[in-house]
A and B are shown apart, each in its own frame.
Chain A
Amino acid sequence: MSRSPGRKQENHKISRELFVLTYGALVAQLCKDYEKDEDVNACLDRMGYSIGIRLIDDFLARSAVKKCRSYSETTDMIAQVAFKMYLGVTPSVSCSSATGNEFSLILDKNPLVDFVEELPVERASLCYCNLLCGVIRGALEMVHLAAEVSFLQDRLKGDAVTEIGITFLRKPEDRKHRRN
């Protein structure tokens, strides 16, 4: 994690291994605490949500991006700027619906699962990186965009790629009372 050049503080880099290990320890502990995979997934999502609602201001303060005028601009921003800034990877974006409010991010590299090859048999429906879904959901909510975010495909479960699906819930015409 390094700070943007505008900062006066020195670059404090924390090791990526420590971050990945911490995340792994978190998931492992949740698996011990909860029996059902759905509970673990829900807990990860909640944690991600509380990270997302705070991370969004950090993202906006450091990247100084302008307000996005469409869902596809927003998804592009998430993939190209936010993921790059925080995880160092750039997923590719595809729009999967005709209505223009369903998108997916296809991650070919996911730093969180560097050291995980596959899920144990008894945890077959665990979404290991569900924290990311919560983060995206929380962040979008703070800029007044309600969305459902979930994993559509997961390499850990045997799929070809890891795909995060973002479905924006409100239609653009309904946002009559949006602020500025």
Chain B
Amino acid sequence: MAIFSVYVVNKAGGLIYQLDHYAPRADTEKTFSFPLDLVLRLHDERVVVAFGQRDGIRVGHAVLAINGAEVNGRFTADGKDVLEFLGNPANYPVSIRFGRHRLSSNEKLMLASMFHSLFAIGSQLSPEVGSSGIEMLETDTFKLHCFQTLTGIKFMVLADPRQTGIDALLRKIYEIYSDFALKNPFYSLEMPIRCELFDQNLKLALEVAEKAGPFGPAS
């Protein structure tokens, strides 16, 4: 029913394009009084919920904002440490917004390169000769479809598990790439794609694919 994001990775494993089309964000904002019944801990420079899941606030959700002001990693907007702030009863009642943290662009770059390496390992490990590499990675909340062209560019689409027609969508994205990115004389190969026409046509293609829905053309 939904396509979450599109990633385009060049031959060297660098991310050259990324689009977040639909993010099923479920942010929850609640007012709390001392003492806080959620157990928070620091993880990767972020304050996340370790225990005490309730009311839509799940384990793993990060603190996104305190009293309306967005937090900056482990520090509040005005530079105070979040855990210290929440440990002090004088600051209560406090309104905290929890949610899944968004990936930063550096994290996306890292993940794309990691997938590129996994893809290469996958095709080497294959018991059959001439493996096409990882085509699909399935989890219970999303499916990652990957298509590697003969020239080495990878197109990855993260979509809802029930979404069909992703194979056709990947071929369509390849066509759009060959048209609006490659035929643009000012676009250098293997560099990040910053072409307005590519963006527009890609979004159109995603909308068409989504409208076709789960009963659309078979993938």
Q: Which of A6, A53, A54, A67 contacts B150 (CB 8 A)?
A: A67
Contact of B151 among A56, A62, A64 (CB under 8 A): A56
When the two chains form the complex, which single residue of B133, B153, B171, B183 contacts A58, counting CB atoms closer than 8 Å? B183
A149 CB to nearest chain B CB (Å): 18
Question: For the complex, what is the distance from the CA of A6 to the CA of B179, rounded to whole Å?
Answer: 14
Alpha-carbon distance A57/B132, docked complex (angstroms): 18
CB atoms of A61 and B131 under 8 A apart: no
* Residue A152, interface by CB 8 Å: no
Contact of B174 with A by CB under 8 A: yes
Q: Which residues of A lie under 8 Å from residue B177 when comparing CB positions?
A: 57, 61
Please judge, given known A-B contacts A142-B151, A180-B132, whether A64 and B178 are in contact too, CB under 8 Å: no
A58 to B153, CA, bound (A): 13
Q: How far is the CA of A58 from the CA of B181 in the complex (A)?
A: 11
B176 CB to nearest chain A CB (Å): 9
Asked whether A25 is an interface residue with its Cβ less than 8 Å from the other chain, the reply is no
Do residues A58 and B179 form an inter-chain contact, with CB atoms below 8 A? Answer: yes
Say yes or no for B123: interface residue by CB 8 A criterion: yes
Instruction: Using CB atoms, name the residue of chain A closest to B153.
Output: A57
Binding site for A on B (CB under 8 A): 120, 123, 130-133, 148-153, 171, 174-175, 177-179, 182-183, 189
Residues of A at the B interface (CB closer than 8 Å) are 6, 53-54, 56-58, 60-62, 64, 67, 142-144, 179-180
